[in-house]
Amino acid sequence: MRTAGIRFARGKGALKAALMLAGLALGGCSGQGALWNTSDSDLGGPDRKIRIPVTKASMPSSVQPYPRIEATLQCIRRTGMLRGRTFVVGPFADSTGKINAVAVGATGNFIPQGGSASYVTDALTKSGAMVVSTYFGAPTKAVPAQYAINGIFNSLDFGTAAQADVRVSGIGPTLELGWAQLSLSIQLDEVATRVNRQMSMIQRPVRYTQLGATSGAVFNNALVTGSANLQNQERLQLEALNGPIALGVADVIMKEFPRARQECLGNVADLLIKDDYQTDTPQSLATATVTGLY
Domain CATH for 183: 3.40.50
Examine residue 235 and state whether it is found in any structural domain, yes or no: yes
Examine residue 283 and state whether it is found in any structural domain, yes or no: yes
In whole angstroms, give the CA distance from residue 2 to residue 62: 73
Examine residue 31 and state whether it is found in any structural domain, yes or no: no
Q: Which structural domain range is residue 131 located in?
A: 67-289
In whole angstroms, give the CA distance from residue 163 to residue 211: 10
Amino acid 88 reads V
In whole angstroms, give the CA distance from residue 278 to residue 265: 12
For every residue of 213-243, DSSP letters joined together read EEEEEEETTEEEEEEEEEEEE--HHHHHHTT
State how many domains the chain has: 1
Contact 200, 248 (CB under 8 A): yes
Strands, E, within the chain: which ranges? 86-89, 93-94, 99-100, 108-109, 130-133, 147-165, 171-190, 196-219, 222-233, 286-289
- Its pTM stands at 0.69
Contact 165, 211 (CB under 8 A): no
Spell out the per-residue pLDDT of the chain, length 294, in tens. Answer: 444 444 444 445 555 555 555 554 444 444 444 444 445 555 555 555 555 556 676 778 888 888 999 999 999 999 999 999 999 998 888 888 777 766 666 667 777 777 788 999 999 999 999 999 988 888 888 889 999 999 999 988 888 888 888 888 888 888 999 888 889 999 999 999 999 999 999 998 888 898 898 888 888 888 888 888 888 878 877 877 888 999 999 999 999 999 999 999 988 998 886 554 444 443 333 334 443 333
